[in-house]
Amino acid sequence: MNIKEALKDCFLDHVAIAVNDLDEGEKIYQDLGLVFNKREVVEDQQVETSFAHIDENAHIELLKPIGNDGPISKYIEKKGPGIHHMCFRVKDVTVKSQELRDLGYKLLYEEPRTGANNCLVNFLHPKSTGGVLIEISEKME
């Protein structure tokens, strides 16, 4: 099988980690050798993000809550900091959301929303994926 061809339409974009403090979170991965080169506030998700490349496609995304009402704030309150979700890049998030819905997965949003890094995103609820929160994302040009 041609791996490059197989990964054309779906590949890992990031692993997201909930943290209380971006500087402290970054230090761990910087000590491993990664370089963080972008921070961004995503108001819609009530987070500040920080990205470091793991390879040419995939990143570590650190997620720090802004305020007390967003999903990351709730997650840290309940479970503490740690791995929060993984995200796969897809060609068309609207089409893929519907395909997955038709297969019986629970999608969080009726329509995809704007996420970090100029992407349109949707999520599969962890109750329909064996306990893993999965984000699917499409890069907007």
- Residue ranges that bind ligand CMX, judged by CB under 6 A: 16, 42, 45, 47, 49, 61, 63, 71-72, 74-75, 84-85, 108, 115-116, 123, 125-126, 131, 133
Indicate the residue among 24 and 43 with the shorter CB distance to ligand CMX: 43
Indicate the residue among 31 and 37 with the shorter CB distance to ligand CMX: 37
Query: Least distance to ligand CMX from the beta carbon of 5, Å?
Result: 28
Contacts of residue 116, defined as CB under 8 A and 6 or more positions apart, other chains included, come to: 40, 42, 45, 47, 49, 51, 61
User: How far is it between the farthest Cα atoms of the chain?
Assistant: 47
Q: Identify the CA nearest to 62 among candidates 115, 33, 7, 21.
A: 21
Indicate the residue among 6 and 114 with the shorter CB distance to ligand CMX: 114
